[in-house]
Amino acid sequence: MEKQSAFNIYPMDQFIIDPILTGDSLEWYSFTNQALWMLISLVSISFVFIYGSRKHQLVPGRLQSIAELLYFFIRDMIIDIAGQEGLRYFPYIFTLFILILFGNVLGLLPYSFTYTSHIAVTGFLALSVFVAVTIIGFVKNGLGFLSLFWISSAPLALRPILLIIEVISYFVRPVSHSIRLAGNMMAGHAVIKVFAGFAGALGLGAIAPIFAITAVYGLEMLVVVIQAYVFTILTCVYLNDALHPGH
Amino acid sequence: MASNSDNSSVGMPQLDFSTFPNQIFWLVVFCVVLFAIVKFFIIPRMEDIFANRRKIIDGNIAKAEEIRLRVSEIEKHIEEELQKAKSQCDEIMNASGNNIKEQMALALEDSKIATTQLISEAEGRLKELRDGSEAAIEKISEELASVIISKISRGK
């Protein structure tokens, strides 16, 4: 903190990708802080789901309860939204969900790195969902998948207009899907960082910023889980469109 | 922290496209690993736990059903036994009633015979008495006649 003034706040610095093993140069294979936190979330997931339920308890303990809760929450969600045939894609959707959920939650730890705040990550995930759903749609329904854009329940005169709207909204999906998640994560963390900067600048009299940090942190706890849920439920909705395009 | 200003203290690190290949590379690596973990460890384990629980619950339900069936069987059995006991009781009551009636009829018969005997005995004795008294009257009247005759003949 030996800078020009005490009031220098860099809320976006927490998102800088930093190679942590190979010095300063960032190659495509360099192990970065982002990769480290992906590894940490992988280890956490294994801890909760594999170590936590290693005893196969009939009446689950604490960790096993968490694992079962998450598992059957996603399972039931897929069945509710995409029907029984959606269950075939459960491993993929569940992988997505826990990757995002653990990334979001671990990102709330001080000094951690939130990999889901990066457009590259969420964009890649959303694009893979988009590509996968489109392929599934055409494989399952052939050209009938295109009936997704031709709303047969609307009056005939409106259908060409709706066609344009539906096509645009279909291709906008990966954009909104990814920016929603990354934007929420980035904004929350940046706000916390800004208030933390105020607190640092005010020193001992920093009751108001600390209170604000606490409040925003509480809100973020909520947002973090909800965004993981939203990302997953939208994936299920898109999958349902691919499986049953006729609505 | 400020030492990173050469990288980007202005703008968003998210839009630094030079980091994208690196990010996507590691994302793909960890996604594949995580998918393998989910597919080969988490899902079999969860399904196993769930199936076990299902099995035990189903087993308990089946056992409860079995016990329920047995209870209703026992109830039926009890009902049957009760019915049997009731009919047996009826039978016994009927039989004893008949027995009593018979005994009474016999006793009545006996007493009738006894009374007729007594009556005929008494009648026989009465007859005897009557016969005896007739003879006595005859004797007395004979004696009286002879007394009267002797009195008359003496008076002459």
Q: How far apart are CA A240 and CA B9, in angstroms?
A: 42
Q: Is B156 among the domain residues?
A: no
When pLDDT is cut at 50, 70 and 90, the band that residue A75 belongs to is very high
What is the tally of structural domains in chain A? Answer: 1
Q: Is B68 among the domain residues?
A: yes
Q: Rounded mean pLDDT of A80-99?
A: 94
Scanning A128-147 for CB atoms below 8 A from B yields none
Q: Is B3 among the domain residues?
A: no
The tens digit of pLDDT for each residue in A128-180 reads 999 999 999 999 998 888 888 888 888 888 889 999 999 999 999 999 999 99
Q: Is B80 among the domain residues?
A: yes
Q: Rounded mean pLDDT of B97-122?
A: 94
Instruction: State the amino acid at position A79 in one-letter form.
Output: I
Q: How far is A176 from chain B (nearest CA, A)?
A: 16
Query: CB–CB of A121/A182 below 8 Å?
Result: yes
The tens digit of pLDDT for each residue in A3-57 reads 445 567 778 888 888 888 877 778 888 888 999 999 999 999 999 999 988 888 8
Query: What are the backbone dihedrals phi and psi of residue A2, each rounded to the nearest 5 degrees, phi first?
Result: -100, 50
Q: Is A11 among the domain residues?
A: no
* Cβ within 8 Å, pair B37-A30: no
In the block, tokens 């045939």 appear at: A85
3-state secondary structure of A25: coil
Scanning A176-195 for CB atoms below 8 A from B yields 182, 186
3-state secondary structure of A108: coil
Closest residue, chain A, to B27 (C-alpha)? A121
Q: At what angle do helices A90-106 and B43-155 cross, to 10 degrees?
A: 110
Please report which helix (H) or strand (E) contains residue B8, including its range: helix B5-8
Q: How far is B85 from chain A (nearest CA, A)?
A: 50
Q: What is the pLDDT of residue A7?
A: 60
* Cβ within 8 Å, pair A50-B39: no
* Cβ within 8 Å, pair A16-B53: no
Q: Rounded mean pLDDT of A71-92?
A: 94
Q: How far apart are CA A181 and CA A223, in angstroms?
A: 10
Reply yes or no on whether the pLDDT at A1 is more than 80. no
Query: CB–CB of B142/B150 below 8 Å?
Result: no
- Sign of the C-alpha dihedral, residues A84, A89, A95, A97? negative
Q: How far apart are CA B123 and CA B125, in angstroms?
A: 5
Q: A43 is in which domain, residue-wise?
A: 32-243
Q: What is the pLDDT of residue B1?
A: 38
Reply yes or no on whether the pLDDT at B6 is more than 60. no
State the best of B1, B27, B29, B40 to mutate against chain A, taking most chain A CBs within 10 Å: B27
In the block, tokens 């009593």 appear at: B100
Q: Is B111 among the domain residues?
A: yes
Q: Is A71 among the domain residues?
A: yes
Percent of all residues in chain A with a pLDDT value above 90, rounded to a whole number: 60
Q: Rounded mean pLDDT of B58-76?
A: 95
What is the tally of structural domains in chain B? Answer: 1
Q: What is the pLDDT of residue B5?
A: 40
CA-nearest of A133, A149, A102 to B34 is: A102
Q: Rounded mean pLDDT of B83-103?
A: 94
Q: Is A114 among the domain residues?
A: yes
3-state secondary structure of A107: coil
Q: How far is B32 from chain A (nearest CA, A)?
A: 9
> Which value does ipTM take for this structure?
0.88
Q: B143 is in which domain, residue-wise?
A: 20-150
Reply yes or no on whether the pLDDT at B143 is more than 60. yes
Instruction: State the amino acid at position A67 in one-letter form.
Output: A
Q: How far apart are CA B107 and CA A36, in angstroms?
A: 116
State the best of A15, A38, A41, A66 to mutate against chain B, taking most chain B CBs within 10 Å: A38
On the CB side of B20, CA atoms within 13 Å amount to 10
Residue that wins the pLDDT comparison between B47 and A58:
B47
Calculate the average pLDDT of chain B.
89
Distance, first Cα to last Cα, chain B? 198
Q: Is B109 among the domain residues?
A: yes
Q: Is B2 among the domain residues?
A: no
